[in-house]
Structure 1
Amino acid sequence: MREAIRVDEQGFFVEDVVLQDNEPLPEDCIEIKVPDGLYRPKWNGTSWEEGLTLEEIDAIVNAPTEPTELEKLQQENEQLKASVIELTTYTAAQEERYNQAILELSQLIAGGNV
Structure 2
Amino acid sequence: MKESLPAAVTEETLTVSDVAARLSIPASRVVQLVRDGQLLSFRHKREVVIPAAFLTDDDDVVRGLSGTIISLRDGGYQDREILTWLFTEDESLPGSPIGAMRAGRHKEVTRRAQAMAL
TM-score tier by shorter-chain length is under 0.3
TM-score, with length taken from structure 1: 0.20
Greater fraction of residues in helix: 2
TM-score (norm 2): 0.19
Greater relative contact order structure (CA < 8 Å, 6+ sep): 2
Greater strand content:
1
